[in-house]
Structure 1
Amino acid sequence: MLLPSALLVLVPLQGAPLMQPPTTTACKELQRIELALAPAATAREICISPGLMTNFVFDTRTEVDLQDEVRFLEVTRGRSTLSLLPPPDLVLGERLRLTVLLGDGTTQQRVTFSLVAYPGQAAHQVEVYRDQRPRESLQQELAQELATNQRLRDELEQTRARFEQLQAKLKQSGGLRDLIANKIISNFGIQARDLKKKELVPSEGVLTYEWGFGYRSDKSIAAEVSLKNSSPEPWIVAGGSLVDAHGKELKGMKLRQEKPIAPGSEGSVIVEVDVLRYEVLGELTLTLRDEGSRSITIPGLVFP
Structure 2
Amino acid sequence: MFTSPLMLSLFMGVSAPSQMCPPPEDVEGRCIELTVGALAEMHEVQLSPGLVTTFVFDSDVRPDGMTLEDSGRFEVAELGKHTLALMPVENPRSEKPGALTVCFADDAAPACVSFRLLMHPVMAERQVRVLRHPRSASSLEAELRRTHEENDRLHAELARLNAGRDAPLGLAGMLVSGVADERGMSCVPGDTVQPLGSVLITAEFSTCRTSKRAIVRVRVRNNSETPWTAHGAKLVGPKGEAWRGSVWPEEPIPPSTLVDLFIEARVEDVRTEGPFVLKLWEANGSRTVRLGRVAFPVLGTGTAF
TM-score (norm 1): 0.35
* Structure whose CA Rg is larger: 1
